[in-house]
Structure 1
Amino acid sequence: MRSSNGCWTCRLRRKKCDETYPVCAVCSALDITCHYQDEKPEWMDGGVKQDEMAECVKREVKENARHRREGGYAIHASAEPMAISQDSPSERACPVLNLLETNTVQPSPDPSSLWLQHGAGNMYSSQGAPESMTLKRSEAVLFTFYLETLFPFLFPFYRPSYLQGGRAWILEMIISRPVVRQAVLCQSVYFFSLAQGTAADCDLDWEKVLTQTGDAFGVLRQALQVIDGSGIAGHLHGAVRIMSSIMQLQRFEIAILSFHNWQNHLNAALALFRQLLDSVLELGAPSSKFEAVISHLGSSSSWSGPGDQVPSAEQAAFRFSSALVIFDDIIASTVLQSQPRLYEYHHSLLGNIEGTGKPFINLEAIVGMKNWILLQIGEISTLDAWKQHCIAAGNLDVVELVHRATAIKESLSTHLASLGTDLAHFSRERSSILDVFAPPVCQGFLVTRVWTHAALVYLSTVVSGWQPANVDVRCNVSQVIELLLKGQISPALLRTMAWPFCVAGCLAEPGQEAQFRGIVEVLQPPSFFGTIHKALEMMENTWRHRGVGGTTRDIAACFRTQDDLVLLV
């Protein structure tokens, strides 16, 4: 129901108003004038003046939307930042929408205490004339650290072509999108402190870090409520920034081994992804919807000629974040013993486009393994969910189970056999001369092999139960060990393989335990490789219960601790 006490602008537009004074959330989101007075304005006459005012507001909405999409990336600051109570969601609504829609960045405290002393909404003001400001040196150091060191460490496979803008979109988002900016600062402060060796100092309280990260998610939740209230189609760019920030902060929480909220965060990202695809094109294949969203996120810019098209920051962020959402959804399904939530999107978005041999979303370029591996892991988790449902109903058809599993195994085995040929072909092929700056491609193929062998181990447990002595299981576990020990995979790449490392390790034989421990022990400091050390902890727990009478185990059980479900991404 529309409020009868809201601002006159919302009443004129016949929109629901949250009654936040002096600027309501809806007007703040659209960056339009919020008419808030006790007396009825003279133009609210139900006649010509009201119609003229309605047209003026429509033009203001349209014009400001264009400025938001096409505007520059100047950094501005409010003269007097407004303090926002952390306990009052309504008081934080205006800053929330500034995070969503504006191209300005307001001043923030010193980054070393940014997430320790202040709430996520304290750094922004929705009032006051903007003034120019220079970026603080401490912030410049943290942003440079993130771009040059931390981001490549977190996503070592992500090396977009320099001729198509490279990772410049991340810098644009940091400078111009406060939601993303704060997500980056949150991560940079933590990891920079680890790099300095100050993580254990008493002046850094990591419980407060977690609290402020939670505050950041609170701001994002409010932003989602605004979008839900006014429709995602009018906030397409903002929705992409929110989804990107959710995935960034989720990765940060998992990196510091906080697993309490990952399901809520992933649910929010999944809902946003679906809404984004449906917002522009209601009917059609997911691939058509994906293309439509990319098109609506802004035209690509050209810096020298028609052939040099550079995607907009939101276009690049949407592609990157969509890959992470799909990847996390698939890995989460193995923990939850459920079909991936985006299962119906898989073949349309991850399968090769007819005539091109390329998919709409290339997971290999972002998370390191080819799309077919994740597709088959999604099929295995779907098979596991079907099996559990049949067992509960008392009508499991073992023949059907084996039949479906055989098709998955044959697909994985065929692709695995072709990897050697692909490596020889790929090592000779370069898309541009700038590819000489990329690292050797062979490590990426070693990673692909590790994931494939782990997927085969996972499939075996779904079909045959927990049988570490099974010939196929022993062979695949041994292959993982050999690849990790002899392949000389870099620590940064090993960090991306926490899930396959844990799957293979949980089914290791007693004589192989020392080899898995040795692989982890060299990853120092442990805080930089938290997920791998967590994987070893879960493996150790599985080994301790080896041979315990009456114990029924499966892969999902390995990812359950006393308090949490663990998502190793």
Structure 2
Amino acid sequence: MNRSSNGCWTCRLRRKKCDEQRPVCNECLTLHISTCKYGDKPVWMDGGIKQEAMSEQIKNEVKQHAPYRRRGKQESAANLNNNVSISIAESEDQSAARSNIHDFSTPPSGPSDVTSPVDTKRVCKQILQLRPFGQSDSVLLVFYLERILPFLFPFYRPAPLHGGRAWILDLVISSPVFRQAILCQSSYFFALAHGTSTITDDRMWETLLEQTKDAFNMLRGSIRIIESYDKNEHILGSVRAMAAVMQLQRFEIAITCFDNCQAHLSAALTLFKKVVDVVGAASLASSSTTFQTILNLLGLPSWILPAQQAEVSSSEQAAFRFSTALLLFDDIIASTALQERPQLYDYHQSLLCQNDGIDIVPPINLETTMGCQNWVLKQIGEIAALDAWKKRCSAAGNLDVAELVHRAAAIKKTLEAHVSQFETYLVSVPEGSSLLDDMFAAEDHAGQARTIARQSWLVTRIWAHSAFLYLSVIVSGWQPANVDVRHHVSQVLELLTHQVSPPALLRTMAWPFCVVGCLTESAQKPRIREMIDLLRPASRFSTVRRGFDIIEKVWNDRAMGNAGEFATYFRSDTTLVLLV
């Protein structure tokens, strides 16, 4: 329904049509809502925590007064809550329920009602009124936590004793924007789980599109409100919106829609910088301890067990750490396609590296999120920055090839030093080990940690070989017959063919798979096609298959002798193909 901008603020918050009756509109009067207000925007209409809290307060008020509206009698909110609790608890006992069910309906008309069966439909309705969202949403949420999240991020295994994935549940309950972004993904994969034929159902697609539209609208509204505040006023709202953007990014990529990749990435970068501005961009770029300062601003940790023996990060702290890892990763991969220096390049040293040589974990550990160690992706960012420099010099007509080779040699030397150190501590992956099976079957934390470490070492090796190949293409173009190129290609094919298990793990390496595939020789092409054929159903591996489309395009252009620059295959005038 069309809504007037002159309606009461309560109707605007509830997205209901207001009849603008004063001093209290009929909608609020009918529902006995006490917060009906006209005039200046109230302080709780901030697009963030206060607004969400008020929304929950109004929902509870409507639920609490439901019996009052049906009975037409004045009862206090406390008594109504008590009646609801008693009736639901006693509904399991039919005899007790029969004596209390009338608390939610009209008075009994006669003795026959006392012995009538329990009105199950009415009791279920009462129970549903107490839920923060519907049962279908609960099913989709659990499906996301148990199936989708481990599939999309098999390396993301936060320790349960430190909160685990509870932050996702908390944000789903408290943030409508984040909840809608999660439901989009879950609805899609839930349909896939029931068979690929379901995807052709127009009704299913209509539902997905409607959910996506709602998520976009809510997100735009939140960002618009956030932008109107001073930098210190809405840091929590920025973090929640950033988390929602990253979830929408993953959802659209899952359905092979890359049209909004650039827009989502730009929005997430803007929100990240808005959070960083609270402490100062220069401060975060120069010191790794500044990231902890930002986390401290996102709320105090929770404490579980007596005497504060177990500390758990707040939901916003966990969400910001996870979303920042995804954003750094996406920004680096996007830079390889855009021929630009990563937009978060200035923060790579402080966020991805150890502090001044001290043996500590860096603020952001991509290995625990994406499976690849930080040093590889940092060097890929360096290569992207080199490609951007080359592009600028070529456009200006002053490219110095000797300088290009010199800069590339420095990056290659750094990569080789890291690989040498990495190989020293490398533990081989046992043949036949299965990432997902091992992760779910492991009973002890130490065993689980060893399994994840072995698999991340494997993934890191593949990314490292791909980084060498990427550097080679930037400096020398497509040279599949080059000795070094052949070495790195054969190493990756060997790892992918004989050590990556299950084959589904390939979806976490879409970008390196594409780079290696583009440089394979004719005899190796069947191995690439065989890996693609193993990924069933195809709809669950959209990024890998889109990468294979790029590989085939490069093969055809190489055969015709007109292969273009590396980055041109990952973008068009309007679309960024983000292989994440």
Q: TM-score, length-normalised on structure 2?
A: 0.74
CA 210–133 in structure 1, closer or farther in 2 if over 3 Å, else same: closer
User: Contact conserved, 1:297 with 1:314, CA < 8 A, in 2?
Assistant: yes
Match of 2:292 in 1: 291
SS of residue in 2 equivalent to 1:568: coil
What residue in structure 2 maps to residue 365 of structure 1? 368
Residues 1:273 and 2:259 aligned together = no
- The secondary structure found in structure 1 opposite 2:272 is helix
Alignment of 1:458-537 (within 5 A): 458-537=470-549
Instruction: Please name the residue that 2:440 is paired with.
Output: none
- The 3 A distance-change label for structure 1 pair 335 and 514 is same
The corresponding residue for 2:462 is 450
Whole-angstrom distance in 2 between the partners of 1:215 and 1:280: 33
Is 1:456–1:476's contact at 8 Å kept on the other side of the alignment? yes
Flag the 1:172–1:73 CA change in 2: closer, same or farther, 3 A: farther
1:392 is aligned, of 366, 390, 395, to: 395
**Match in the other structure for 2:252:** 253
User: What residue number does 2:158 align with?
Assistant: 160
Match in the other structure for 1:345: 347
CA shift digits 1:158-208 (9 cap, x unpaired) = 011122111111111122221111111111111011001152353534366
- C-alpha distance in 2 between matches for 1:408 and 1:460: 11
How far residue 537 of structure 1 moved from its aligned partner, in angstroms, is 1.5
* 1:212–1:564 distance in 2 versus 1, CA, 3 Å: same
Counterpart of 2:177 (choices 179, 186, 208) is: 179
The match for 2:575 is 564
The structure carrying a bigger helix percent of its residues is: 2
Q: Is the 8 A contact 2:557 2:563 kept in 1?
A: no
Is 2:52–2:175's contact at 8 Å kept on the other side of the alignment? no
Q: Note the alpha carbon deviations across 1:86-110, whole angstroms, 9 max, x for none.
A: xxxxxxxxxxxxxxxxxxxxxxxxx
| Distance verdict in 2 for CA 1:467–1:75, change over 3 Å | farther
Deviations 1:301-352 (A, max 9, x none): 1213555211011100000001111110110000001100111111011111
What whole-Å deviation, never above 9, does each CA across 1:514-562 have from its counterpart, x for those lacking one? 000101101100011111111111111211222324x242221222368
Residues 133, 193 of structure 1: CA spacing in aligned structure 2 closer, same or farther, 3 A cutoff? same
Unaligned runs of 5+ in 2: 15-19, 24-41, 65-127, 431-442
**2:194 paired residue among 193, 196, 201:** 196
| Distance (Å, rounded) in 1 between the aligned partners of 2:397 and 2:317 | 48
SS at match of 1:222: helix
Taking the TM superposition and a 5 Å limit, the aligned residue runs for 1:57-72 are: none
Q: Which amino acid in 1 is paired with 2:327? A: V
Q: Of 306, 313, 328, which aligns to 1:326?
A: 328
Greater alpha carbon shift after TM alignment, 398-407 vs 435-444? 435-444
Change (3 A) 1:192 1:472: same
- The answer as to whether partners of 2:199 and 2:205 remain within 8 angstroms in 1 is no
In structure 1, C-alpha distance between the alignment counterparts of 2:254 and 2:8, rounded to whole Å: 40
Whichever of the two has the greater Rg, that structure is 2
1:232 CA drift (Å): 4.1
* CA 1:75–1:413: 2 relative to 1, 3 Å: farther
SS at match of 1:497: helix
Structure 1 pair 544/177, CA: closer, same or farther in 2 (3 Å)? same
Task: State the match for 1:8 in structure 2.
Answer: none
Structure 2 Cα separation of the partners of residues 440 and 266 of structure 1: 29
> Do the aligned partners of residues 283 and 406 (structure 1) sit closer, same or farther apart at CA in structure 2, a change above 3 Å counting?
closer
Instruction: Quote how far apart the aligned CAs of 1:469 are.
Output: 1.4
What SS class does the counterpart of residue 224 from structure 2 fall into?
A: helix
For structure 1, the 5+ residue unaligned runs are 1-17, 30-34, 39-56, 81-129
Q: Which residue of 2 aligns with 1:218?
A: 217
Distance 1:537 1:373, change over 3 A: same
Aligned partner of 2:567: which letter?
A: A
Superposition TM-score, scaled by structure 1 size: 0.76
Alpha-carbon distance between aligned partners in 1 of 2:548 and 2:335, rounded to the nearest angstrom: 21
In structure 2, the residue matched to 1:149 is 147
Q: Which moved more, 1:539-548 or 1:506-515?
A: 539-548
Residue 79 of structure 2 corresponds to none
> Which residue of 335, 338, 343 maps to 1:336?
338
Q: Deviations over 1:132-164 (max 9, x none)?
A: 337543222211111111101011110111221
Give the superposed CA RMSD: 3.4
Separation in 1, partners of 2:555, 2:535: 21
Is the Cα contact below 8 Å between 1:367 and 1:496 reproduced in 2?
Answer: yes
Secondary structure of the corresponding residue to residue 260 of structure 1: coil
The code of the aligned residue for 1:540 comes to: E
Which letter maps to 2:250? R
Structure-2 residue corresponding to 1:244: 243
- Evaluate the alpha carbon distance shift between residue 171 and residue 65 of structure 1 in structure 2; reply closer, same or farther with a 3 A threshold: closer
Measured at CA, do residues 184 and 455 of structure 1 come closer, stay the same or move farther in structure 2, by a change above 3 Å? same
Output the CA distance in 1 between the equivalents of 2:335 and 2:328.
Answer: 11
Q: Is the CA contact (8 Å cut-off) linking 1:443 and 1:489 kept in structure 2?
A: no
In the alignment, residue 293 of structure 1 is paired with which amino acid?
Answer: I
Residue in 2 that maps onto 1:436: 447
CA distance in 1, matches of 2:21, 2:354: 54
Is the 1:162–1:434 contact (alpha carbons within 8 Å) kept by the matching residues of 2?
no
Q: Distance between the aligned counterparts of 1:557 and 1:425, measured in 2?
A: 36
Alpha-carbon shift at residue 214 of structure 1 (Å): 4.0
Q: Tell me by how many angstroms 1:511 deviates.
A: 0.9
Change over 3 Å in CA distance of 1:210–1:72 after alignment to 2: closer
- Structure 1 residues 221 and 65: CA distance shift in structure 2, 3 A: closer
How far 1:20 moved relative to its partner? 5.6
Q: Following TM superposition, where does structure 1 have runs of at least 4 consecutive aligned residues deviating by more than 4 angstroms? A: 35-38, 64-69, 71-80, 280-283, 424-427
